[in-house]
């Protein structure tokens, strides 16, 4: 087992270095309803940080070249994010760990896992559509986890709702008090720039070809803004005055405690307002702090190294069938090559192949600090929710598994590809793309795929064929509900009409039911049976 940096370098100086490096980290997720522009914003943030030279989304979804964070074939074909992606880059004196997430409700479990690994969230709202269903669910998750939220009203270059109407909607439907930091000059669809409420200045934007490069900004005084923009500036100024009397100014303590949400207006596809967002995240988003362990005790950032796995992804490198485990560093210093312990198994894990991730691209990383996201390669021994530590044992809370609502039997189309079929099923289960359920009755050749949303079936089938060369047929099952059960109840449940008991790879037994009525009747007639509800996707 590796020796902790705390004992080799010694004492307070090393602890101070860890605390100082941690203070430089900003780790956040971009979350929203589908098609609000998350991946475009992610790309625009990287563009403004000067880590890419040209944005991938050049004319919106119809003509996009493909963003850095959307690297899967299906993502490029459909123009939506199917899996979360991590990007790390330096900006000003900070290290930014940016996580792009799927917006579609079918992939909400992946989004929830990402939210366990971040310290803040950027909630993107479509200026024309306002708060949509998935947006509301994600607001609720952030509130439940105590994650402060920065709200961005996107697509202001297109016709949409009035800005004041959107602020009322945020306040009434989320319970958060919006405190706009910038205010749009020009109605939705006529986005000229923003009034910076912090100093009263006007930031005027100039369009670039397709929004592929950073939009030039010009800072004007209020008087110069009034002379240039006329009525548009007057209206923005009047509305900003009204906000001062109602919403109030930004209060950092209220923001961090989840009472308020700073708001900025932007057009990610045009790169308008993106620079202000990046500066806001560096200035206002919290740095990593002590993370509670499984017992609820805060684990200090200057303790020996610890981290947890929040995502596992295979198939990122088509030349190598490797498996990448994303870890969030929680304490201490990560050093490539150190040998750490997996708290779940008690076994050592060598970190020889550690990488910094930028979408699909990677490069070797030597050290990392609390808040950083590190990709560990060849991580077949690691699973989602695992805790890794050096020197001082610690276990972080497990990652929630959602209750599946759709079930299908998977069979390999060509029996000569059975070996590839088994490998693919094992990989998808390890990543959490689907929950894989088995039973002696069905046999290993007919595992049941259990998912939150039906689009996960499409992803699984696509990856089985194109990554593992094992085309599959999916036979839908009539079940719609799952409950955790035990071995003592399994026999009676299996004999019940409209029910079936299957096992997950971790050994947990799930009882599947076709409808709520069947479940309710069985529970009433046989109250001694173990039927424990799982976390529903809509709560995530």
Distance CA 315, CA 201 (A): 48
SS3 of 291-313: EECCCCCEECCCCCCEEEEEEEE
Closest CA to 488 of 501, 497, 505: 501
The answer on whether 100 is annotated among ligand-binding residues is yes
Which two three-digit tokens encode residue 272?
């308008």
Q: What whole-number distance in Å separates Cα of residue 339 and Cα of residue 468?
A: 31
Distance CA 79, CA 82 (A): 9
Gap between the Cα atoms of 428 and 372, Å rounded: 25
- Is 168 annotated in some ligand binding site? no
Q: Supply 33's token pair.
A: 């309803």
Q: Is 101 annotated as a binding residue?
A: yes
Dihedral sign (CA 460, 32, 43, 379): negative
Other beta carbons less than 10 A from residue 330's beta carbon: 27
Nearest by Cα to 188 from 236, 143, 222, 148: 236
CA nearest to 72, candidates 100, 52, 48, 97: 100
Reading the block at residue 141, the tokens are 């998750």
- Strands 481-485, 149-154: pairing is unpaired
What 8-state DSSP symbol labels residue 7? I
Helix axes 108-115, 133-145, angle to 10 degrees: 30
Is 103 annotated as belonging to a binding site? yes
Say which residues have a Cβ less than 8 Å from residue 167's Cβ, sequence separation at least 6.
Answer: 178, 180, 243, 247, 263
Contact 38, 124 (CB under 8 A): yes
User: Does 116 show up as a binding residue in the annotation?
Assistant: no
Residue 403 and residue 314 in contact, taking contact as beta carbons nearer than 8 Å: no
Distance, in Å, from the CA atom of 463 to the CA atom of 321, rounded to the nearest integer, reads: 12
Q: What are phi and psi of 331, to 5 degrees?
A: -155, 160
CB atoms within 10 A of CB 17: 15
Q: How many CB atoms lie within 10 A of CB 65?
A: 13
First to last CA, the chain: 37
Rounded Cα distance between 275 and 101, Å, is: 21
Query: Counting beta carbons within 10 angstroms of the beta carbon of residue 75, is it exposed (0 to 12), middle (13 to 18) or buried (19 or more)?
Result: buried
- For the annotated binding site for GTP, the residues are 100-104
- For the annotated binding site, the residues are 100-104
């Amino acid at each position: 087992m590796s020796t902790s940096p705390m004992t080799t370098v010694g004492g307070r100086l090393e602890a101070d270095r860890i605390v100082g490096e941690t203070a430089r980290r900003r780790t956040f997720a971009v979350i929203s309803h589908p098609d609000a522009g998350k991946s475009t914003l992610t790309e625009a943030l990287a563009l403004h940080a000067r880590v890419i030279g040209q944005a991938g989304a050049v004319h919106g979804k119809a003509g996009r070249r493909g963003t850095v964070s959307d690297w899967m074939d299906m993502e490029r074909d459909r123009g939506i994010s199917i899996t979360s992606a991590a990007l790390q880059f330096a900006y000003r004196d900070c290290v930014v760990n940016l996580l792009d997430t799927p917006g579609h409700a079918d992939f909400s479990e992946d989004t929830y896992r990402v939210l366990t690994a971040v310290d803040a969230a950027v909630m993107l709202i479509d200026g024309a559509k306002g708060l949509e269903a998935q947006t509301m669910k994600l607001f609720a998750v952030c509130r439940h986890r105590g994650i402060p939220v920065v709200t961005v009203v996107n697509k202001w270059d297109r016709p949409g709702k009035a800005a004041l109407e959107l602020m009322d909607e945020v306040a009434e439907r989320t319970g958060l008090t919006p405190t706009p930091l910038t205010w749009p000059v020009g109605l939705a669809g006529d986005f000229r720039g923003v009034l910076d409420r912090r100093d009263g200045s006007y930031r005027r934007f100039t369009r670039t070809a397709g929004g592929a490069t950073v939009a030039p900004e010009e800072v004007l005084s209020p008087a110069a803004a009034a002379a240039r923009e006329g009525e548009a500036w007057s209206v923005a100024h009047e509305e900003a005055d009204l906000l001062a009397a109602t919403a109030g100014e930004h209060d950092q303590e209220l923001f961090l405690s989840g009472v308020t949400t700073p708001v900025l207006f932007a057009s990610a596809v045009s790169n308008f307002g993106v620079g202000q967002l990046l500066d806001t995240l560096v200035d206002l988003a919290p740095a990593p702090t002590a993370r509670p362990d499984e017992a609820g005790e805060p684990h200090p950032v200057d303790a020996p190294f610890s981290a947890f796995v929040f995502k596992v992804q295979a198939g990122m490198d088509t030349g190598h069938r490797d498996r990448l485990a994303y870890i969030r560093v929680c304490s201490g210093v990560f050093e490539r090559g150190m040998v750490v312990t997996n708290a779940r198994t008690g076994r050592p894990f060598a970190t020889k192949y550690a990488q910094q991730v930028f979408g699909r691209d990677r490069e070797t990383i030597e050290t990392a600090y609390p808040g950083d996201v590190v990709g560990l390669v060849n991580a077949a021994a690691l699973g989602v929710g695992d805790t890794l530590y050096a020197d001082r044992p610690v276990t972080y809370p497990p990652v929630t598994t959602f209750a599946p609502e759709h079930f299908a039997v998977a069979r390999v189309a060509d029996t000569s590809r059975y070996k590839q079929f088994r490998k693919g099923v094992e990989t998808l289960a390890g990543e959490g793309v689907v929950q894989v359920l088995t039973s002696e009755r069905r046999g290993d050749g007919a595992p049941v795929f259990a998912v939150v949303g039906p689009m996960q079936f499409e992803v699984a089938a696509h990856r089985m064929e194109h990554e593992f060369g094992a085309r599959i047929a999916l036979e839908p099952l009539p079940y719609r509900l799952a409950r955790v059960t035990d071995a003592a109840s399994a026999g009676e449940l299996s004999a019940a009409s409209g029910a079936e008991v299957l096992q997950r790879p971790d050994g947990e037994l799930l009882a599947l039911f076709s409808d709520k009525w069947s479940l309710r009747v069985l529970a009433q007639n046989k109250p001694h049976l173990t039927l424990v509800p799982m976390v529903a996707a809509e709560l995530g």
